[in-house]
Amino acid sequence: MDTETRTYRTGDSDAVLDLTRDCVAFAAGRGDGLLHVFVPHATCGIAILETGAGSDDDLLALLRTVLPADDRWLHRHGTRGHGRSHVLPALVPPYATVPVLAGSLALGTWQSICLVDLNVDNPEREVRFSFLAG
């Protein structure tokens, strides 16, 4: 298994960050297998969705509705509403696995692999890419 960890800056606001180009580059030339993308943080997720046509903004709008940044959360350290970030991985898991065929991701036409981060207290995130040969 080949593994690489990269660091991404998500900033100080809710973010959906498209990782697809880096996933494509990591899988290139590796043959058939699986790409596993994992974020080793308790407050982030990995989603496969369409980006650029509004779906990424729609996802953030949905998450803001379901997980509002207010004082209802029992997990209360950090900024107001920080507890919602700790619930996020139950809705957007911290991983995704994608088939790789002849070194190319077998994603659908409009699918992108994205990091989803609602935690404004930690602006940098690590993402681990692993290739499992077939």
Q: For residue 16, what are the β-bridge partners? A: 116
**Residue 53's domain is classified under what CATH number?**
2.60.120.460
Residue 66 predicted with pLDDT over 80:
yes
CA-based radius of gyration for the chain: 15
The answer to whether 105 touches 18, Cβ cutoff 8 Å, is: no
Residue 105 predicted with pLDDT over 90:
yes
Average confidence (pLDDT) over 34-43 = 97
Query: What pLDDT does residue 47 have?
Result: 98
Count how many domains the chain has.
1
Strands (DSSP E) contained in the chain are 2-9, 15-18, 33-38, 44-49, 95-101, 104-105, 112-117, 124-133
Residue 93 predicted with pLDDT over 80:
yes
Domain that holds residue 52: 2-133
Residue 58 predicted with pLDDT over 90:
yes
* DSSP per position, 56-89: HHHHHHHHHHHS-SSTT-S--SSSTTTHHHHHHH
pTM of the model: 0.94
Average confidence (pLDDT) over 65-88 = 89
Residue 76 predicted with pLDDT over 80:
no
Question: pLDDT band at residue 74, thresholds of 50, 70 and 90?
Answer: confident
